[in-house]
Structure 1
C-alpha cells in the first residue's frame, strides 16, 4: 500500500496537532476588554498591559485585546491609576463582563506617605483607629502615627507643631485640600496651622516628603495636605450621621464628635461639631504635669451638583480653645477663636483634553490671646492679643492626554499678622508702669504663583516634572521705632523659582525604582522677617527679624526602592538635601526687652547646611487573620560652616505593629511598639540638651455591636515609661523636662446611622 505522507510530512502533521491540542488559544479569537474609570465609567486610554508575551496600551476608548488562557496573570499600569494585577480567575470574570474598572488614585509621583483616617467599608480592612483619631482635638498630633513626622511641643496637651526630616514651621507647607491654610497668631506658635484643621470630615492626610509637590505651594522640606471627604450623593434622599465619644483615664480627657448630614441626588449638606476637655495628667513616675485644655469646633458644609458637570462646595468652620496650659512658655493660651471658610467650583468636561477645571477661594481669621494671669507668683501682668488673617484663591486645570496628564494654574495667598504685648509691672522699683511692645508690626506677605505638573510614561518609565514661579512681597505697615532703627527698609519683593523632576519604573514583577530631584527657594516668613524682640526660639533669647533676609534654597535628591508581592511589601527611601542661605539665628549685642532674657538673637542666613537620612516601611500579611508592619525614620543635619549639628533634629524612630482579625473580622486587636533612640547630636550653640531613648507598648481591641455601634478600648504606655520627646521644650530656666503621660486607659464608643 502506497504511503500518503512522507516521514517529514508526518512529523510536521504530528507537531501541528500537538501544538493545536496544547495551545488552543492560538485558534481563538482575541477577547475584547474595556478598562473603565470606576467613578465616571469612561474608558481609560493609555493603560499599559502585559499578559504573558502579549503587551500593549489601551486605545482611546480604553479597550485592549487578549488571547486568554486559564493560567496567566494580567499586569496593568497607568500614571493616574497606579499599577495592579488580575489573577487568572479575575481575568476570566473580566472577560465574561467585558470590563475592568479602576478608581483614579495617583495624583503625583513625589515620595508620599498617606495616613488613612476614614474607616473602610470592607469588613476585613477596617482601620479601627480612624474614629479614635478623628476624635482628636489637635490635627497635628495624629501626624505622629507616621515615624517620619516628629513634633515640637510647648504644651503638654495642645499645639503639636510638625517637624518633617528636620524641617519645621514655615519650611513646611500645611494645607487643606491643597489650598486653605492658617497662620499662627501666637508668635510662640501656641496655635500652629495644623491645630486649626477640623478633623470631622478629613478622609486622609498626604505627607508629601521633600520639596517636590509644587502644585500646592513651596514646601521647602515637604507638604502636609489634609484631604476632605468627597461628596456622598444618593439616589434616595436620606439622613446620615455619627456620634462618638472617648474617655481617657490619665488626665480625665473627654473627647466628643458629632455630625448630621442630608443627602440626595444632587446635594450633600450637613453640620458638625466637636468638644474636648482635659486636666493635668500623671507622668510615669506619678508626678503631675500641667495639661488643662478646652477645645471645640462647630461647622457647616454644603456640596451641590448645580448641573451634571458643575459641582459647588461650601465649608465654614468655627474653632475655639480656652485656658490651655503651656508650662514651657511664660504665658498660657487663654482664648483662641478661629473662622475658616472656603468656596470651590469644579467643572468637568468630556470628549476633550481638558478634563476638569477647579476654582477655589478661602479665608481664615485667628484671634488669639495669651497671658500669664494664671501664674503665681509673677513680677508683672503680661498679655498679648494677636490676630492673623489669611485669604487666597486657586485656579487649576487638569488635562488628560492619551500618554500624559497635565496640571497647571495660578494661586494667590495673603498672610497678615498684628499684635501688641502689654506688660504691667506689679512688683519692684518699676511697679505701676506699663509697657507696650509692637510684636507683629502689622506685617503682611503676599504670594502669587504660577505652577505646572506634567506626568508622562516614556517606555516603561513614568516621568513627573513640576515647576513653580512665585512672587513674594512683604511689608511692615506699622514698623516699631526700634525695629526701623535696626532696619531702614521694611519692604521687600523676592522671586522664588522651583523645579522638580522624578522618574519611576517597575523592575520586573516585584521591584520598582523611583528617583526625584528638586531645587526650590523659599522666602522668610512673617516671624523670620518681622518679629520684634520676643523669645520664640528653643532658648530664652529674644529674637528679632530681618525684612531683607535672603530666601533659603533646598537642593534635594530622593531615591525610593520598592518591593511588592502578594502578601509582602517593602519600601526604602534615601534622601539628601544641600541647603544654601539656610535661615537660622545668631546671637547679637542688642539689648533685650525683658531683664530675664539673656540677650537677643537675629535671624540670619547660614551659607551651607545638609540634611540626609532614610525611611523604611515594611508590611506583611502573616495569614488570613494576622498582619504586621514596621516603620523606621532617621534624619542627620549639619551646619557646614560651624561644622556642628543643626538644632531640633529628632532621633531615630522605630514603630512595629501587629494586628489580628478574629470572629469573622469583627473582633480586631492590635499591639503597637515604639522605640526611640537617644539623641546625642545636639546644637551647643542653641543650648540644646541630649535626650534619652525610650520604648512604649500600646494595646487596643474593638468590636462592632450590630451595624451602627462600635466599641473600642485599650492601654497606652502599658509599662508606665517615664519619658519625653527630644523636640518637647523644657519647663523653666532650669530646663526641667516636660514628661509625657504615663499609663493611660481609654474607651471609645462610636454610633453611626443609618
Structure 2
C-alpha cells in the first residue's frame, strides 16, 4: 500500500505551478502560430472555453481542467449526484457528513451562502443537521446544463448567492429549426468498492412545435472499507424521475413546464447523531416566454415554481439507541415567482431587468424517548420559521470601443424573517424565546426581523483577440441570517448543544477579482485571483460551556456570532496539447479565510487543491481514450480550535481510466479510483460522532480504497 507523502504532493503542486506560471507570463509576448494539423473532430466550446468565474457543467466530460465538466462525469461514472461532480472544478470543495452527501463550498464559503436555483426556484435543504444540501438531490439523468457562478457572476436572473450560485435550468428546449425526432438514452454504472449500481434511462426530442424530455433512475450504494480495513457506514438508495415539456403555440412564444422528483432512503451519516431514513424531493416549474415583443423589448418571461422536501431522520442504527430513541420529521417549502424583461437599448447595449419573490417555510420537530425512564421530550428545532424575500434587479451589458465590454448590475430587496412557535417549550422549563435571551441577551427578544438587502456588480473585459481575454471587477452583496442560524431552538446537536440567534445582523460582502484567459492552438490557460471582505460574517462557534443535562459533565453549546472575515485566493487551469493525440490537463486552487475579529483562521477552509492528468486518444478514429490522473491536496494546519476541527496532512489519490466508443451510440468506460490504495481523508470531511461500523468516536473518516468502476452508455 502506498500512502500519500509530502514529497509526492510537493512534486505535483510544483509541477502544476511551474507549468502554468511561465506559460501565462509569456502569453502576451507570444505571437499566434498556426495550429498543428489534426484528424480530431473540431473541438467544442466546452473543450476550449476556459472560464473560471462563470463555469458551465454539461453532460459530457472532456475537460474538468478547463473549468467545465461535460458528459462523462455526470452520466458516465457511478456518481450519485451533482455535488460529486462540482468538487472537480477549481475553487469548489465540499463538506462531507456522509459518503455521497457533499455540501458545496465555493472559494471557502459554503452552506446557504451558495445558492441553488432549480428553474426559478431557490431550493433549501429540509434537514436541521445539514444532511441534504440541495445539489445532492440533482441526479445525473435529470441534468442537461448546470451553470455555476463564482465571484463575478450575473444579476440577470435576480439570484446571487453571497458565495456562489448553482443554477439548473429545467426547460428542455431545442432549436425551432430542429427536425422532428426522438432519441433514447441509458446508462448503467457499477462501483465495486461500494457494490454500487446506478441505472438510468430516458428520451428527449420533439416535433415542429414542442420539445419533450423524460428520464428516470435508480441507484444503490453500500458501505465501504478504507485501505486499512476500517468499515465505514455509507449505504444509501435513491430513485428519481424528471420531466420537461415545452410548446411553441406561435412563432416567438413558448409555454413550458417541468417536474423533478427524487426519493432517498436509508442514507448513512457517521458524522451525525442520526441517519436519513426517508426523503422526498419535488420541484415543479412553469413558464411563459414571448420573444420579439417590440422593437426594443426583445423578451418577456414569466416564471413560477414550488419546491417541497420532506425529510425523516432517526438513530435506529446508532450506538446510543439503547438509551435514547430519537426521530425528527422536517420539511422545507419554497414558493417562487419571477418576471424578466430583455431590452435592446441600442446595437451595443442590452438590458435585463425584472422582479423576484420567494417564500421559504421550514418546520422540524425532534422526539426523544428515554427507555429507562419512559420519558418523552419534544424539541421544536425549526419553530414554524419562514423567510419572505422580494427584490428588483437589472443588468446592463455594453460593448465599448477598442475591444472592451462592460457589465453593471444591481439588486435591491426586502427580507422578512419570522418564527411563529417561539413560545413552545424548550429545555429546562424555559420557552424557545427565553433560551434565545438566556444566551444572547435582550437583543434576542425581537425574533421577527425585516431587513433591506442589496447587491451590485461591475466588471470590465478586454478581448483584443479571440484567443485572449482579460477581465476584472468588483461586487457587493448581502445575506440575512438563515433560518437555522437565526431560529434553531436550543437542544442537542452534534458535539453538544446548539442554539440560534435572532439578533444576528446580515452579512455584507465586497470583493474584487481579476483574471486572464489565453489560448494558443495547443494550449489553454486561465488564471484568476480574488479578495473578499465580509462584514458581520455569521460564524458557527462555541458560545458556552455548561452542564446542560445535569449529568455532571460540562457540555459544549454552539451558537452563532457576527465577526469580520476576509477571503483571498487564486485559481488556475491549463490544458496543453503535447501532441495531436495527447493532452495534459492541470487545475490548482487555493483560498485562505481569516476571522479578522478573532485573529484566527476561519473554520472549514479547504487546503490548496488540484488535479493533473495525461490523456491520449488511440485508433484510426480515436475511439479509445486512456487517462492517468491524480487529485491532490496540501496539508491544512490553519484551523479554528474553537470550532472543533483538526489539522489534515497532504494527500494524493491517483486514478486510471479507459473509455472506448464502440460506435456512435455505444460507449464503454472502465476505471480505477485511488489506484495505489492510499489511506487519506479530506479536510472538510467531518469526523465520526460515535462508534459505528469500524469507526470510533472522533475518528477521521478515510476515503474509499482502490475502486474499480464500469460504465456503459447507449443511445438509440
Normalised to the residue count of structure 1, the TM-score between the two structures is 0.81
2:317 to 374, 390, 395: 374
CA RMSD of aligned residues (A): 2.9
Q: Provide the rounded CA distance (Å) in 1 between the counterparts of 2:204 and 2:567.
A: 46
Instruction: Find out whether 1:209 has 2:158 as its counterpart.
Output: no
CA contact (8 A) 1:212 1:518 kept: no
Q: CA deviation at 1:223?
A: 1.3
Instruction: Find out whether 1:188 has 2:144 as its counterpart.
Output: no
Instruction: Find out whether 1:573 has 2:522 as its counterpart.
Output: no
CA contact (8 A) 1:201 1:229 kept: no
Correspondence for 2:117: 175
CA contact (8 A) 1:418 1:443 kept: yes
Correspondence for 2:703: 740
Correspondence for 1:648: 604
* Greater alpha carbon shift after TM alignment, 700-709 vs 408-417: 700-709
Correspondence for 1:93: none
Q: 1:681 to 1:708 in 2, by over 3 A?
A: same
Q: CA deviation at 1:708?
A: 1.8
The SS at the match of 2:55 is strand
Q: 1:134 to 1:745 in 2, by over 3 A?
A: closer
Structure showing greater Rg: 1
The SS at the match of 1:695 is strand
Q: Provide the rounded CA distance (Å) in 1 between the counterparts of 2:492 and 2:378.
A: 16
CA contact (8 A) 1:212 1:466 kept: no
Q: Provide the rounded CA distance (Å) in 2 between the counterparts of 1:490 and 1:359.
A: 34
Correspondence for 1:409: 354
Q: After the TM superposition, which residues 18-29 of structure 1 pair with which residues of structure 2 at under 5 Å, given as runs? A: none
Q: Provide the rounded CA distance (Å) in 2 between the counterparts of 1:399 and 1:134.
A: 42
CA contact (8 A) 2:242 2:260 kept: yes
Residues 128-156 of structure 1 show CA distances to partners (whole Å, capped at 9, x for unaligned) of: 62453576322211111213111011112
Residues 496-520 of structure 1 show CA distances to partners (whole Å, capped at 9, x for unaligned) of: 1111111011357754321110111
Correspondence for 1:276: 219
Q: After the TM superposition, which residues 5-404 of structure 1 pair with which residues of structure 2 at under 5 Å, given as runs? A: 111-118=53-60, 129-130=72-73, 132=75, 136-156=79-99, 158-177=100-119, 179-210=120-151, 212-215=153-156, 216-228=158-170, 230-232=172-174, 237-261=180-204, 263-349=206-292, 352-378=295-321, 379-400=323-344, 401-404=346-349
* Greater alpha carbon shift after TM alignment, 558-567 vs 404-413: 558-567
* Greater alpha carbon shift after TM alignment, 439-448 vs 299-308: 299-308
CA contact (8 A) 2:548 2:555 kept: yes
Q: Provide the rounded CA distance (Å) in 1 between the counterparts of 2:383 and 2:324.
A: 23
Q: 1:319 to 1:126 in 2, by over 3 A?
A: closer
Q: CA deviation at 1:380?
A: 0.8
Instruction: Find out whether 1:423 has 2:368 as its counterpart.
Output: yes
Q: Provide the rounded CA distance (Å) in 2 between the counterparts of 1:190 and 1:275.
A: 20
The SS at the match of 1:588 is strand
Q: Provide the rounded CA distance (Å) in 1 between the counterparts of 2:299 and 2:627.
A: 42
Correspondence for 2:382: 440
Q: 1:358 to 1:172 in 2, by over 3 A?
A: same
CA contact (8 A) 1:357 1:397 kept: yes
The SS at the match of 1:187 is coil
Q: 1:474 to 1:591 in 2, by over 3 A?
A: farther
Q: Provide the rounded CA distance (Å) in 2 between the counterparts of 1:276 and 1:104.
A: 28
Correspondence for 2:694: none
Q: 1:653 to 1:277 in 2, by over 3 A?
A: same
Q: Provide the rounded CA distance (Å) in 2 between the counterparts of 1:594 and 1:184.
A: 33
Instruction: Find out whether 1:513 has 2:470 as its counterpart.
Output: yes
Q: 1:214 to 1:548 in 2, by over 3 A?
A: farther
The SS at the match of 1:546 is coil
CA contact (8 A) 1:131 1:750 kept: no
Normalised to the residue count of structure 2, the TM-score between the two structures is 0.85
Correspondence for 1:727: 684
Q: Provide the rounded CA distance (Å) in 2 between the counterparts of 1:361 and 1:573.
A: 36
Q: CA deviation at 1:669?
A: 1.8
CA contact (8 A) 1:494 1:523 kept: yes
Residues 167-203 of structure 1 show CA distances to partners (whole Å, capped at 9, x for unaligned) of: 01111111124x2232111101111111122432423
Q: CA deviation at 1:581?
A: 0.7
Q: Provide the rounded CA distance (Å) in 2 between the counterparts of 1:153 and 1:190.
A: 9
* Greater alpha carbon shift after TM alignment, 226-235 vs 325-334: 226-235
CA contact (8 A) 1:211 1:223 kept: no
Q: CA deviation at 1:749?
A: 0.9
If asked which structure has higher relative contact order (CA below 8 Å, sep 6+), I would say: 2
CA contact (8 A) 2:172 2:246 kept: no
Q: CA deviation at 1:210?
A: 1.7
CA contact (8 A) 2:545 2:555 kept: no
Residues 714-746 of structure 1 show CA distances to partners (whole Å, capped at 9, x for unaligned) of: 111100111111000100264101111110001
Q: CA deviation at 1:110?
A: 9.0
Q: Provide the rounded CA distance (Å) in 2 between the counterparts of 1:593 and 1:467.
A: 49
Q: CA deviation at 1:243?
A: 1.5
The SS at the match of 1:142 is helix
Q: Provide the rounded CA distance (Å) in 2 between the counterparts of 1:752 and 1:311.
A: 28
The SS at the match of 1:615 is strand
2:495 to 535, 540, 558: 540
2:508 to 535, 549, 553: 553
2:399 to 440, 457, 463: 457
Q: 1:373 to 1:310 in 2, by over 3 A?
A: same
2:544 to 581, 588, 601: 588
CA contact (8 A) 2:315 2:326 kept: yes
Q: 1:145 to 1:499 in 2, by over 3 A?
A: same
Instruction: Find out whether 1:483 has 2:427 as its counterpart.
Output: no
Q: 1:319 to 1:709 in 2, by over 3 A?
A: same
Instruction: Find out whether 1:689 has 2:634 as its counterpart.
Output: no
The SS at the match of 1:145 is coil
* Greater alpha carbon shift after TM alignment, 373-382 vs 195-204: 195-204
Q: Provide the rounded CA distance (Å) in 1 between the counterparts of 2:400 and 2:127.
A: 49
Q: Provide the rounded CA distance (Å) in 2 between the counterparts of 1:554 and 1:361.
A: 29
Gaps spanning 5+ residues in structure 1: where?
1-84, 89-101
CA contact (8 A) 2:547 2:555 kept: no
Q: 1:217 to 1:252 in 2, by over 3 A?
A: same
Residues 600-627 of structure 1 show CA distances to partners (whole Å, capped at 9, x for unaligned) of: 2222211x22110110111122222121
Q: CA deviation at 1:208?
A: 1.0
Q: Provide the rounded CA distance (Å) in 1 between the counterparts of 2:658 and 2:292.
A: 46
